[in-house]
Chains A and B, each alone.
Chain A
Amino acid sequence: MRWSTPTLSVIPRGIVPNRWDLLALPLVLSLLFLFGAAAHQMALPIAAPQAVGLSLNPSHLPGYALRTTLRMLVAMLASLVFTFTYATAAAKSRRAELILVPVLDVLQSVPVLGYVSFTVAFFLDLFPGNVLGAEFAAIFAIFTSQAWNMAFSFYQSLRTVPHDLHEVSLSFRFTAWQRFWRLEVPFAMPGLIWNMMMSMSGGWFFVVASEAIAVGTHTVRLPGVGSYVALAIEQRDLGAIGWAVLTMLIVILIYDQLLFRPLIAWTDKFRFEQTPGEVAPDSWFLMLLRRTRLMNTILGPVGQSLRRIAVWPGPGFARHPARPTPKSLRALGEALWYAAVGSVTLYLVWLAASTVSESLGWRDLGVAFGLGALTMLRVAVLVGLATLVWLPLGVLIGLKPRLAQTVQPVAQFLAAFPANLLFPVAVLLIVRFGLNTDVWLSPLMILGAQWYILFNVVAGASAFPTDLRDAAANLHIRGWQWWKKVALPGVLSYYVTGAITASGGAWNASIVAEAVSWGNTKLAAHGLGAYIAEATTNGDFPRIVLGIAVMSVYVILFNRLLWRPLYRLAERRFRFD
């Protein structure tokens, strides 16, 4: 089965930062910092919760897997609530949009595991001596890996609701609330679900990484597959790792069959335009649900109550759109708004900087940026290597429909698999052969992320128009010229989408991939990821902040200077009409 790939929502607007972008980065970072620092200072030493009794007995794994999956689902609900509120605010209010969109852009550039380091203290403080705090911290981490691109997708959909449908809803005198549920949400559904599912695929990596959280000298372990693996690493139990991998494979398979595919097949009915010839996605599970009377009886009332929400006029909404404000007034309002947000930002930055400067100097900043350059080099080289391998292979696979149909789900499956479960194997190999950690730990960063390149390129090559291939054959375009003039431009926009995701994944993975351990054996490479990991283990709050801030800056620059121009070029020049 081939899935059409809607746009991955990571690319907003232009390359050149505007004045609102200049506010967003300091605003987000200083806010995060103050939020974390406040909690950090409030309760020292942290009241670490009781260690939960974990066991390496494989019979506990199903239970652990269930807990892990539940965390994922709770985080997904939170992400949905965030999406519906944040993205709606950004799409409906011009003033909110000015600051919310750049902020979202920064939020998605902050490494996900960085949020854990920031916020774990805060959440533990909320529930002293209780694992609930750690649960919240883990769920929050997963939330941060899911929410941003969902919000972007929803925001973009809201901005592109077809004008005629909007006018219809006005002429029916829908309130804003009704319009939201009857028009905007259904219209945004395919893009939102796709991004939701992609987020969830990526989420497995973070759920595994955030279940065992080191807080100073203590390690909080929540019952789950991630903690099971952490314990197995501590006790050097390779068999247990094998069981965990197997469990994860089964969990993802079930997730894929019972959630991912049915949802994608279901959203097909919301598709605004149907390209003829494209295979409609289908799912045996959804078919089963639709055909079974019992399920219809059970799900019927749910659908009914949802319908009632949509029909309800909503809390105090007018049936007429508000009259637009005159232009001169708008400009004035915008200037005032900018001044207000700007001064708040300046104040927060000053507050954060004065706290940080107590313990950090310019030298630390230099060190962090130096290490960041090393990590960036790794990311660039690895994405390059993955491209060299998967771009040509993906094209060849995608041009053979049968093969593509087999490879595509496998690649998507591998992309969802949390590669960090396999890290111990790498440690064993490196120790065994005495390899250079700076070089050989690097491949771990791309282990899970490379598949995004493969399946996007395969999707691109499958969608390559037959007539164009025929024309190339008719013109005798072969060999290198064929790659240069026909194949590579044809899949470029798909490739860039995949590469953006892969590079984002590699940056995120660096925090766990540059510093790994096996029992007492600890390996670390020189890089910003290892720097953050070490600061987290030591509970060195100022350095965590510094590391995360520097990494965010690198990620933003990497996106702005490389991926966005490439993506825009691909969109403008290399797209089929």
Chain B
Amino acid sequence: MMSATLPTATTSPKLLEVRDVRQGFARPSGGERVVIENVNMTLADHEIVGLLGRSGCGKSTLLRIVAGLIRPTGGEAVYLGQPITGPAEGIAMVFQTFALFPWLTVLGNVEAGLEALAVPERDMRKRALAAIDLIGLDGYESAYPRELSGGMRQRVGFARALVVNPAILLMDEPFSALDVLTAETLRTDLVELWSEGKLPIRAVLMVTHNIEEAVLMCDRILMLAGTPGRIAAEFKVDMPRPRNRLSPHFRALVDDIYASMTARVAQAASAAAAKATTQIALHMSRVSANILSGLMEALAAEPYRGKADLPQIAGELQLEVDELLPIAEALQLLAFAELAQGDIKLTDSGRQFVESDLETRKRLFADHLRRYVPLAAHIRRVLDERPGHRAPRVRFETELEDQLSEEDAQETLQTAISWGRFAELFSYDDQAEVFSLDNPT
């Protein structure tokens, strides 16, 4: 089923080329929020390329540009020499949420793409059944998606994408909605089919935030980082498939990617800290005070005693890199910990926090909030100055939205509220959307 009839890569235009792509979205308040900028990449025959990065770095946006679902505001994506201006024939996509039509059976879902291509009826059935067979869905043809488990649903997603014989398969975090075991089975099956040349595709572009998954499956890994997102690093994976997660080579590469990612975080955090003294609109991810205490306690305890290797502690706490980094960043911002070269180290006040009782913790947290988190300090100052000690949420919202996207502004404010509540620095009434200094008695 391999595309033997297609011309070889050397004589034909490149399979996929992304040139200087930039994507901005209009803000409701006017102006533009740039998600990715100056992105260049290629996809060659017979390779699986992974787009790796934290949530919000624009990797899904890049994938959707290649899929022709959104038009870039700058630059272009070129498929076989033709600029992509809409969903292109020969590019199929698998979704994180599966995106199956709940009113169509497995067979109906798989055939939907063929119907759109006006494939003759008999051919259609044959091809659909072949794809269902290939992906291991035999016997489920007449089932509706809601009757299937997550893993089976995603198999339908794969069959639906493969049945149209695409040249490029796009995958948007295809395994992240599945449980660990199911995801691993599906990955292994897919890699096996790919290695044996049974998939009718020339190349795969996949988005993931899971480092191990990227190393397990990809030939090349592109790391996106920053705001706006850019390609910050590229890693080649020269290991024969199937790959062994425990091999030293595999581990070393995972550690490498980890270190490079946290180095960037450390840089970003220290840059932010430098700006922080003046800037209120510093984006803060949603991390609860409980999680912060949890990580600090884990750090202070054996075997780390205040200092840990990030990949190691992530593995120990079963946190994905995507989950660990925001927490580490928040600790750095609050000056409870420091990040350097893939390590995290508790500061003196961090240790003090761990050793204190709840009341002292709250006082310490409040103190650090006022000193290191300009937004929290700002809210408190405004409340202190006002005669009634009350201020509506929208006042701070507009200030933040001047510089952040609407979502980021909301998240930042929500984080400030949750920290402020924990520290009893101020209180907030969600019904009235008002900040105040009164505590319920």
Chain A residues at the B interface, C-beta cutoff of 8 Å:
269, 287, 290-291, 465, 467-468, 470-471, 473-478, 481, 485-486, 489, 492, 573-577
Contact = CB atoms under 8 A, between A and B. Distances in A.
A45 B150 CA distance: 73
3 closest Cβ pairs, A-B complex: A475-B113, A471-B99, A290-B432
Interface string B85-96: 011010111011
Contacts of A574: 102-103
A573 B69 CA distance: 28
Given A471-B101, A492-B103, 20 more contacts: A269-B431, A290-B431, A467-B95, A467-B97, A470-B67, A470-B69, A470-B95, A474-B67, A475-B87, A475-B92, A475-B113, A476-B116, A477-B112, A477-B115, A481-B115, A481-B116, A485-B101, A573-B103, A574-B103, A577-B146
Given A473-B87, A476-B87, A577 B102 contact: yes
Q: Residue among A470, A474, A477 with the most chain B CB within 10 A?
A: A474
Interface of B: 64, 67-69, 86-87, 89, 91-93, 95-97, 99-104, 112-113, 115-117, 144, 146, 160, 164, 392, 429, 431-434
A291 B392 contact: yes
A476 B89 contact: yes
Contact of A474 (B92, B146, B433): B92
Contacts of B104: 485
A251 B432 CA distance: 27
A473 B93 CA distance: 10
A489 B101 contact: yes
B144 A573 contact: yes
Contacts of A471: 93, 95, 99-101
A576 to B, nearest CB: 6
B87 A474 contact: yes
Contacts of B99: 465, 467-468, 470-471
Contacts of A476: 87, 89, 113, 116-117
Nearest to A569: B103
Contacts of A467: 95-97, 99
Secondary structure call for the B interface = loop
A486 B115 contact: no
Contacts of B93: 470-471, 474
7 contacts: A287-B432, A467-B95, A473-B87, A474-B68, A474-B87, A474-B93, A573-B103
A262 to B, nearest CB: 12
A485 B95 contact: no
Contacts of B97: 465, 467
Contacts of A575: 102
Nearest to A471: B99
B286 to A, nearest CB: 12
A475 B116 contact: yes
A297 B440 CA distance: 16
A481 B146 CA distance: 23
Contacts of B91: 474
A473 B85 CA distance: 12
Contacts of B432: 287, 290-291
Nearest to A573: B103
Q: Residue among B64, B102, B429 with the most chain A CB within 10 A?
A: B102
A34 B101 CA distance: 53
B116 to A, nearest CB: 4
Contact of B164 (A465, A475, A492, A576): A475
Contacts of A474: 67-69, 87, 91-93
Contacts of B113: 475-477
Given A475-B164, A476-B89, A470 B64 contact: yes
Nearest to B113: A475
Contacts of B96: 467
A576 B146 CA distance: 9
Contacts of A573: 102-103, 144
A126 B398 CA distance: 61
A10 to B, nearest CB: 23
Nearest to B92: A474
Nearest to A293: B388
Contacts of A577: 102, 146
Nearest to B433: A287
Nearest to B70: A470
Contact of A475 (B102, B160, B431, B433): B160
Contacts of B89: 476
B69 A473 contact: yes
A464 to B, nearest CB: 11
A477 B112 CA distance: 8
Contact of A576 (B64, B87, B102, B431): B102
A465 B99 CA distance: 8
A468 B102 CA distance: 10
Contacts of A290: 429, 431-432, 434
